[in-house]
Amino acid sequence: MSRALKSLAIFAAIVVIFTISRHNLGTTTTTTTSTTSATTSTTTTTMKTTPVVTTCIGSDFTGIYVEGEGAAGTISASVTLTKATPGSCTLKGWPILSLQDTTGAVLSGTIINERPGDAPIQFPAAQANQAAGLLNLAHGDTASFSLAYSDVPTSSAACPSARTVSVQFAKNGSVATVTPSSPIAPCNHGTIWVSPFY
């Protein structure tokens, strides 16, 4: 090979190397940087506590006997009971009544739970003629019931004279005692009609 050809081959090799290296120099390299931000998550748990609600008992209440009206030999009245102790309780249904004379002796009698549509009694208070509903009572809240009785003797039997009325919310439960301003005397063997609590 002549010297001129060698020189030309070397020159061609340099051009090729230069072109390749120039191509590599023109390559753009992209670097992606990923930034992760940490997020702090706070979870708040709310615990709801439900107060314990118990059935009402008579000894938690004070009572007032509200004198009513008389028409055609039937006397109507009502009793309002106020919760005098802390906490809440529920009440539903009819009161259990007992009557006492001036010595505290329990008088015999018949208590009839009056229901909507029953005859012969319709109480003056509209709520007294409704079906029994659940009452939730807190300290200071009141519940009432209505009562009615005849003061006309139906036989030779005397009408018992009651000085106090004891109210129970459940059989064998504690009592709330109310005292009418004057004795009540239900005739017909001490029959008294009572409404549900309202």
Q: Which residues of the chain have pLDDT under 70?
A: 1-53, 119
Predicted local distance difference test score (pLDDT) of residue 87? 96
Predicted local distance difference test score (pLDDT) of residue 25? 44
d(CA 108, CA 104): 13
Predicted local distance difference test score (pLDDT) of residue 53? 64
Predicted local distance difference test score (pLDDT) of residue 16? 47
Predicted local distance difference test score (pLDDT) of residue 73? 82
Place of tokens 């314990």: 52
pTM of the complete model beyond 0.95: no
Predicted local distance difference test score (pLDDT) of residue 8? 53
Both tokens assigned to 142: 């009141």
Predicted local distance difference test score (pLDDT) of residue 68? 83
Predicted local distance difference test score (pLDDT) of residue 61? 98
Q: DSSP readout, the chain?
A: --HHHHHHHHHHHHHHHHHHHHHHHT-------------------PPPPPPP-EE--GGGEEEEEE---EETTEEEEEEEEEE-SSS-EEE-S--EEEEE-TT-PEEP-EEEE--TT-SS---SSGGGGSPP--EEE-TT-EEEEEEEEE-S--SSSPPP-BSEEEEESSTT--EEEE--SS-B--HHHHEEEEPPP-
Peptide bond between residue 196 and the one before it cis (omega within 30 degrees of 0)? no
Predicted local distance difference test score (pLDDT) of residue 153? 87
pLDDT tens figures, 96-142: 999 999 999 999 999 999 998 776 788 999 999 999 999 999 999 99
